[in-house]
Structure 1
């Protein structure tokens, strides 16, 4: 206790110097804690992005996404090829068609059954009424697929076709969205019968409300009566204006046996997305386009990874700076107290006791600085983390294809990095108990290491030399 008491008293012999040292150390410790907070917040955001974006790749017929033409439909053989590709754990084959109202004038065309491009027709009709108003684009597309001469709707002798319904045929026990994420079933159950004779169906909440349907009710589609097995919620009004039917049944009824519109390939790990994409591209050849669910994900993760490295470097540099400050201050103190150290050693004080006294003295200053530094970090960590992310994303956007003003990502493009920036969103950077404990432990360790050298210097002080100089 005497050693500790002397250490506390010695720490404030020179109050001005001690105050200045505490303030400088507080800034260094606050910056170190802020960098640690930013590092952990970015690491959490990377994990969140990888989890939310999913680990699915989308396979489309070549040219289909841009309606360039010349492409051929995917087939069940393509799905089998995709399932055998490296890092692919599962495939979800789907066939997308559109159905017109039974009383509409929309033309039926198996060739244009996709209905997603100009001139696309419908695969058949349904008794369901769309829950979404067509709007300008919907009416324009429906008229293109109606096989008419292109006269405006409402003209004499021309009936406007009803808005077509999107139907997705799936061959698995769960409905999934474009990124491979399972759609939430609000009532009923998933599809269980996938035979060509199946009559099961899943419908969106919007479509169910519009047509006053509940689980167990029936409707007609493709000239077959289907029973509502479940009702799903996909999150938006447009996505909830859709129907999921068994794949084999739709292929037969639409006259597209063996054909697929899209294949979703589930990758065994988010880290293997690039390898899986290359493997699928090589296996499927030029007849298919393989794309990730989110073009901006890689850019966002790469940018955050660079910010994570910067914050870790800043944390280490701040700790080293704090250690050097302690080292220099304690070396100066030891030199000032050479006479006192010599007297203590002359009366029998061991080197270990004297060294521990100086270590405790430095720890007193560090603990005070840590208290102030914690306040600095609590107040500034969020701003520092945000500034690091903003700087990192801006640099990545400027370095990407298309430069800072162009590219495929829109403003700040960089080859889709505009999407990556949107994916990052807000960064939650708070000084939690775990982060505080880890940071302070590192600070105290550096403080001990920084004060050991001055403490060891006391062992070299010979009492006889000090006393001879008196």
Structure 2
């Protein structure tokens, strides 16, 4: 106890010397704790990102296979294609319609993997609807006619009563509504039960409904692809009306063209019936438990499901855009932390060497009058702990105030912003037909609207966590042990007789 009191008294008797050491340690410890806070924050944020981005994938027909089919079709003459079309059996016609689709057996089998938490199936097709005017398509057809008159060509499978039907298993999980590009204004979404029972219901666009004087409860008559007459007609009941958010914003800006007015939404089973492709979908959409599961699921797809015509597309690129800057910040902060702790160790070692070297006579006298090595080391241990404790308390307070600024500085050095181009369309002011098809690199989760062209600032939220206090104690313990290294070596080798003979 007496040794501890002597140590504390010696700490108070040399304020100037201790102040210099404390200031040096304070600077290094402040930087160390700030770097540690940034490291913990970046790691935590990367884990959060893994649960929301990078955990999505979809199975669809690959673009390579699609290009291969297009090249084969292009190599045929017009007469050959017409002859082939006339002589096709019902089975061959189904194969023709489904060559760019995926079997539900494959999408359902993949959904059974333990890493998959939710999944959906989607089909987008153009269907003819009687007594319904598609003004947007009429404009496109008039442009086509002018193009043909001047010697050009245009796609043939379009007409003024042709509409895009998008179907999935639950209307509330449609990507366009999930991302906010469209919102329901009247009625309700179709449910999972509607999908299971193939209830003939549909959601129609607001402008299209107003143009054709339709409301919730009215009925539309759609024609099944490849069929005619009464047997090929399906009556669809309107249960909801939606509006396109971008279109409403454009109206406010004197831009009245509604690019998505020809899209109708219906249960997947209904769209499959109308398109005459039972058991086939355009893609299977999956959400996983974490980004870490992507590699496992990719291996499952490659080994069990891949046949050369399908691909497993993920949002890994979006994850890397967000996580890479955070990961770089974490690595940089670790380097800064290691350097600052090294500087702390050097400071305390040199300081204690100077202190002990200037008090050799005092040590000799203490040992001469009977003080044991343990008692003398306890005295200096108190001095070391007092110096380190004051420095780290001050450092923790200041680092709590500057850690966020330090994180912003490191993040701006790597990349100030993460440009997340939400590719929702071709961005040139014209509508795209469908979404996520074999020739479309977009993912279904991104929706089928227009590109927002927005930049999302990547921010690092440095929260001063309770664990940082524990790390501070460990750093204090580490520096204290290093600080005691010099006194221990000096005291154990020091002989009182040698000190007195020098005097």
Q: Does 1:168 align with 2:189?
A: no
Give how far 1:151 is off.
7.2
Structure 1 residue aligned with 2:374:
352
CA shift in 2, pair 1:142/1:383, >3 Å:
farther
Q: Which of the residues 70, 78, 92 maps onto 2:120?
A: 92
Structure 2 residue aligned with 1:466:
499
Mean alpha-carbon deviation: is it higher for 385-394 or for 32-41? 385-394
Equivalent pair of 2:170/2:191 in contact (CA under 8 Å): no
Structure 1 residue aligned with 2:353:
331
Counterpart secondary structure, 1:192: helix
Structure 2 residue aligned with 1:8:
8
CA shift in 2, pair 1:311/1:355, >3 Å:
same
Counterpart secondary structure, 2:317: coil
CA shift in 2, pair 1:166/1:330, >3 Å:
farther
Alignment of 1:54-203 (within 5 A): 55-63=55-63, 70=70, 72-80=100-108, 82-83=110-111, 91-97=119-125, 103-106=131-134, 139=136, 143-144=139-140, 149-150=145-146, 167-171=165-169, 175-177=173-175, 190-195=191-196, 197-199=198-200
Q: Does 1:224 align with 2:235?
A: yes
Give how far 1:31 is off.
0.7
Equivalent pair of 2:32/2:341 in contact (CA under 8 Å): yes
Instruction: Tell me the distance in 2 between the aligned counterparts of 1:15 and 1:448.
Output: 19
Structure 1 residue aligned with 2:435:
none
Structure 1 residue aligned with 2:338:
316
Alignment of 1:252-331 (within 5 A): 252-267=273-288, 269-277=290-298, 279-280=300-301, 283-293=305-315, 295-331=317-353
CA shift in 2, pair 1:168/1:105, >3 Å:
closer
Q: Which of the residues 244, 249, 259 maps onto 2:270?
A: 249
Instruction: Tell me the distance in 2 between the aligned counterparts of 1:315 and 1:207.
Output: 61
Deviation per CA, 1:152-193, whole angstroms, max 9, x where unpaired?
9xxxxxxxx999876431236962528999999997884223
CA shift in 2, pair 1:444/1:197, >3 Å:
closer
Give how far 1:204 is off.
8.9
Instruction: Tell me the distance in 2 between the aligned counterparts of 1:428 and 1:207.
Output: 45
Q: Number of matched residues?
A: 405
Give how far 1:259 is off.
3.1
CA shift in 2, pair 1:362/1:163, >3 Å:
farther
Instruction: Tell me the distance in 2 between the aligned counterparts of 1:352 and 1:213.
Output: 92
Cα RMSD between the aligned structures?
4.6
Equivalent pair of 1:25/1:366 in contact (CA under 8 Å): yes
Mean alpha-carbon deviation: is it higher for 197-206 or for 374-383? 197-206
Mean alpha-carbon deviation: is it higher for 24-33 or for 280-289? 280-289
- In terms of fraction of residues, the more helix-rich structure is 2
Structure 2 residue aligned with 1:127:
none
Structure 2 residue aligned with 1:451:
483
- Give ranges in structure 2 of 5+ residues lacking alignment: 71-98, 149-158, 223-233, 249-258, 420-440, 442-451
CA shift in 2, pair 1:360/1:86, >3 Å:
same
Give how far 1:34 is off.
0.8
Equivalent pair of 1:78/1:284 in contact (CA under 8 Å): no
Mean alpha-carbon deviation: is it higher for 357-366 or for 292-301? 292-301
CA shift in 2, pair 1:12/1:232, >3 Å:
farther
Structure 2 residue aligned with 1:50:
50
TM-score by length of 1: 0.69
Instruction: Tell me the distance in 2 between the aligned counterparts of 1:257 and 1:188.
Output: 23
Q: Does 1:25 align with 2:25?
A: yes
